[in-house]
Amino acid sequence: MVLLGPTARSIGEMLIVCEAFAASHGLTYNVKKCEFVVFKAAGKCTDTFPSITLNGMSVKQVSRFKYLGHILTNDPKGDDEVERERRALAIRGNMLARRFARCADQVKISLFKAYCQGLYTSRAASW
């Protein structure tokens, strides 16, 4: 589960709702597996941040974590994730070029669209 909020207070309020829901359904959160990241805006984020608690225990603050295969960092540039995606695209593109070198261009374009266009790209109608 991911919670996003503009302030520490908003996150704390959402966690209170989550704790109440979990308690009413006989569940508990494993605080050892929980962590939070503060996404920094250029020149607007301080180094200190209020404590975030869940079930009365402090949640660990991190500068990066992996969620659904994507690396999220507190760096607004996101260079790590961009580089990882660039490498993955090069690998998939080279694999298609090697395996389907003798196919027609339209087949290659269809394969590229199916296997190389990621979640974050838009499909161009002019292909």
Residue 112 and residue 96 in contact, taking contact as beta carbons nearer than 8 Å: yes
User: How many helices (DSSP H) and strands (DSSP E) are in the chain?
Assistant: 3, 6
- By residue range, what is the domain housing residue 104? 79-115
With respect to residue 125, please indicate whether it lies within any of the assigned structural domains. no
Beta carbons within 8 Å of 61's beta carbon, 6+ residues apart:
35, 36, 37, 38, 49, 52
With respect to residue 1, please indicate whether it lies within any of the assigned structural domains. no
Same domain, yes or no: 91 and 60: no
pLDDT for res 9: 85
- For the chain, the domain total comes to 2
Give the model confidence (pLDDT) of 55-104 as tens digits. 888 888 888 888 777 777 877 666 777 777 788 888 888 888 899 999 89
pLDDT for res 110: 87
CA dist 62 and 12 (Å) reads 17
